[in-house]
Amino acid sequence: MTSVESEAHEYWSAAANPRIAALCATIRDDMPASELEARRQALAAESAAMRAFLWRFETSLNNLQPVMRLPTEILTTIFMLVAESNPITGYPHNRRAYAYLGGSHRNPAAYVDWLPLTRVCRRWRSEALACSPLWGRIPLSLGTKGIDEFVRRSRDASLVIDCSPHDKYPHLGEMLQPAHLLRAREIHVPTTALQGQHAAALLPLLTSAAPRLEAFTIKGGFAGAILRRRAAIKLPEHLFADGAPLLRTLHLNQIDKFPSQPSLLSNLRSFSISNASAHAGYTFPTRTEMYDALRSMPLLENLSLVNSMAREGSGVPGAPFSLHHLRALTLHGPIDAVSCVLQPLRLTPPVKITLNTSDDPGAVRDKSASLFANLGRTGFSRSDAHAPRTLVITLLDGRLTVTTFADAHTELRALTNRVLTAPSNASFSLTIAHRRRANATSGTPHLTRCIPDLFARALPVASIEQASVLGMTNTPDASARALFDPLWKTAFGACTRLAGLYVAGPAAYVLLRALSEPLAQPVLPALSNLIFDDNHISRVRLFEHVPLYDILLQALSTRDIPRLQIPDSPLLTGAEIEALKAHTNLVTFARAPHGGGAGGWLDGAGEVLPMLLDAGGGIIGGGGGGIMDAGGGPIGMGAGDWIGAAEHFLELGDDEDGEDGESEEEEMLLEEMMVGMQEDVGALGGFEVVG
């Protein structure tokens, strides 16, 4: 015990002992009830007085803590960061804490994550009450009284109005009144709030001026068949009375037409329009209308158009114009629509481009050249400083994906993941898919011919150092040779710096044949690390009537490839392994077995893609929310991958069905599935799948 502690103990012992002796005397059995009650009341009063003094000590002690010495500016900044990093309202992560704070299980959405900060101590509460912007984020789920209290505490601060599908839309109407719109900085509403019976009440409220408004978002609904039967949102002709000069973000879903108000577009930094592929209530713009709208956004940094662009034949080609500030471009729709947007566009690198098209094989054959020519003319790839160093090509189920990365990824096995949406760190992503799965086999030649055309017209690959090619086609050997021979000898002819290559499927067999041929210009002259993913290498597995083992051995005998990686191949003998080691530094790796329940990623066709393991048995993947997670742990799948995969499957089914293919019960099931997935992602931070 320190001297300070000893002094305090002696003082309070001396001061308290007489009081304790007087109040805590021995209780006799024959003591009257009145005396017992008087003594109980005296002790209760004494205890309350002591707690009051202790509270004063604890308050002074708390005030001396380092966190309590933070300046007001820093403390309120922390409050704002906490508030902005959480949904305005939503399900609490800790239900027990929520109940302690007085929450009702009948309305779990009426919960504000940051409110407990105001109940830590008197200073924090006073600072929070004085921070008017903190209260400007209005939780509509709190009801009229809660909304009014938040508005009162926000004083004259700008308001953030964010309505979720769980909120009651009449409360949204309260916040869209002219007096509140004058103070609104952000407005986010779901599509369902502006449709059906709610549209007549809420849409007219959007005609008042919003001079502080910086972001207006109509949040997306559900995919495919569900959206098809929902009415298009008819925004007012003069949205916000043409009075939103500070608007920087405009994201619209399921609207009836392309916006054209110059007053709304001139200051935009981020603009997107998204519709379902079968949405019938949208009036597509002409080329002139679309180009005029894009020209009126000179400061645009992020552009996303999903099934909302002009179609070929809807007007004459436009004169070139530049969007020098654009850094992200996303286009999703038929080939001719994507090509129409790119035709007059001129860009300044670096720009992340994501193109996703779905069309018939005939359109892929006839229109892809025009698409690539228009893409090349944008100038997005003209800077050597931003040239791609990693290339990923996947050809699966009538779906071609070409993705590039600015960095050189050395973990090539992780790049075999099939991504239904572009990876967040990709510099370029192109997906061309056949509209119907029935065309997957017949249209494969058109897809493979797209690759050399893309490289020649739009995407230079001379700087590529690492690549992954996964080409799975259900075709005979001769057809596979015809499909992939031009890929290696023509498309990859410019890849003179390519050192590392992961390859799987028939494309791998054709590559081995090309490597063993005595060509004047060798295929991939800088290749030093070849990852050949096929665990059926043997003398009995044939390609073009030649054993795969002999093809591999001949390629290694012809070309000096210092490092070769193949899966554990049970059909190879020890002598055959030693023969391979004589030509290269052979490294083997394990792979998860195929079949349901094997822990693999099951795609729409019921096929399990390869899953690669490191020496410790852990699954190797790209991490960052990809399908396979790194670090040897279970497979972690990002929220965007799961939702994107579900939307992909729904849209495929929607395209193949007739106009009235789904019953109301099926639509309700699909809607419940998507809502449930989105809620689970929000609550759990992503799915975790363990094989």
DSSP code string of 285-349:
PPHHHHHHHHHT-TT--EEEEES-SPPTTSSPPPPPEEETT--EEEEEE-HHHHHHHHTTEEE-S
Lowest mean pLDDT of 365-379, 486-500, 531-545, 651-665, name the range.
651-665
- pLDDT class of 679 with cuts at 50, 70, 90: very low
How far is residue 148's CA from residue 105's CA, in Å, rounded to a whole number? 23
Asked whether residue 396 is assigned to any structural domain, the reply reads yes
How far is residue 358's CA from residue 278's CA, in Å, rounded to a whole number? 12
CB 226 within 8 A of CB 667: yes
How far is residue 336's CA from residue 364's CA, in Å, rounded to a whole number? 10
Q: Exposed (0-12), middle (13-18) or buried (19+): which is 670, by Cβ within 10 Å?
A: buried
CB 274 within 8 A of CB 220: yes
The two structure tokens encoding residue 668: 């309700």
**What integer is the mean pLDDT of 91-116?**
54
The alpha carbon of 105 is separated from its chain's Cα centroid by a whole number of angstroms, namely 31
Asked whether residue 399 is assigned to any structural domain, the reply reads yes
**Residue 11: what pLDDT?**
84
List pLDDT tens digits, range 600-651. 333 333 333 333 333 333 333 333 333 333 333 333 333 333 344 444 334 3
**Residue 278: what pLDDT?**
56
How far is residue 610's CA from residue 601's CA, in Å, rounded to a whole number? 8
CB 231 within 8 A of CB 196: yes
Task: Annotate 129-181 with three-state secondary structure.
Answer: HHCHHHHHEECHHHHHHHHHHHHHHCCCCCEEEECCCCCCHHHHHHHCCHHHH
Asked whether residue 219 is assigned to any structural domain, the reply reads no
**Residue 685: what pLDDT?**
39
% of residues, the chain, pLDDT over 90:
35
Torsion of CA 568, 570, 575, 581, to 10 degrees: -10
**What integer is the mean pLDDT of 252-258?**
90
Q: Which long-range contacts (CB under 8 A, 24 or more apart) does 119-122 make?
A: 121/59, 121/62, 121/68, 122/59
**Residue 347: what pLDDT?**
94
Q: Is residue 132 pLDDT above 90, yes or no?
A: yes
Asked whether residue 203 is assigned to any structural domain, the reply reads no
CA neighbor of 585 nearest in space, from 559, 563, 557, 561: 563
Asked whether residue 530 is assigned to any structural domain, the reply reads yes
How far is residue 270's CA from residue 304's CA, in Å, rounded to a whole number? 8
Phi, psi (5° rounding) for residue 274?
-135, 130
List pLDDT tens digits, range 147-168. 899 999 999 999 999 888 777 7
**What integer is the mean pLDDT of 349-359?**
91
Residues facing 161 on adjacent strands: 138, 187
User: CA 205 → CA 144, 172, 240, 410, distances in Å?
Assistant: 18, 10, 9, 55
How far is residue 253's CA from residue 480's CA, in Å, rounded to a whole number? 42
Asked whether residue 582 is assigned to any structural domain, the reply reads no
**What integer is the mean pLDDT of 259-288?**
86
List pLDDT tens digits, range 446-486. 888 899 999 999 999 999 999 999 887 777 777 888 889 99
Asked whether residue 636 is assigned to any structural domain, the reply reads no
For 375, the 3-state DSSP assignment is helix
**Residue 641: what pLDDT?**
38
Asked whether residue 453 is assigned to any structural domain, the reply reads yes
**Residue 440: what pLDDT?**
53
How far is residue 145's CA from residue 151's CA, in Å, rounded to a whole number? 10
- pLDDT class of 591 with cuts at 50, 70, 90: low
- The answer to pTM > 0.85 is no
Lowest mean pLDDT of 62-66, 104-108, 604-608, name the range.
604-608
% of residues, the chain, pLDDT over 70:
77
How far is residue 352's CA from residue 404's CA, in Å, rounded to a whole number? 10
66 half-sphere exposure, CB direction, 13 A CA radius: 0
How far is residue 333's CA from residue 275's CA, in Å, rounded to a whole number? 10
CA neighbor of 135 nearest in space, from 150, 124, 116: 150
Phi, psi (5° rounding) for residue 479?
-70, -40
CA neighbor of 314 nearest in space, from 288, 339, 280, 293: 288
How far is residue 140's CA from residue 150's CA, in Å, rounded to a whole number? 10
The two structure tokens encoding residue 512: 């081995």
- For the chain, the first-to-last Cα distance in angstroms comes to 57
**Residue 345: what pLDDT?**
95
Q: Is residue 34 pLDDT above 90, yes or no?
A: no
For 236, the 3-state DSSP assignment is coil
For 570, the 3-state DSSP assignment is coil
Residues facing 602 on adjacent strands: 608
Phi, psi (5° rounding) for residue 417?
-60, 135
Show the domain range for 438.
349-556
Number of domains in the chain: 1
Lowest mean pLDDT of 473-477, 528-532, 555-559, name the range.
473-477
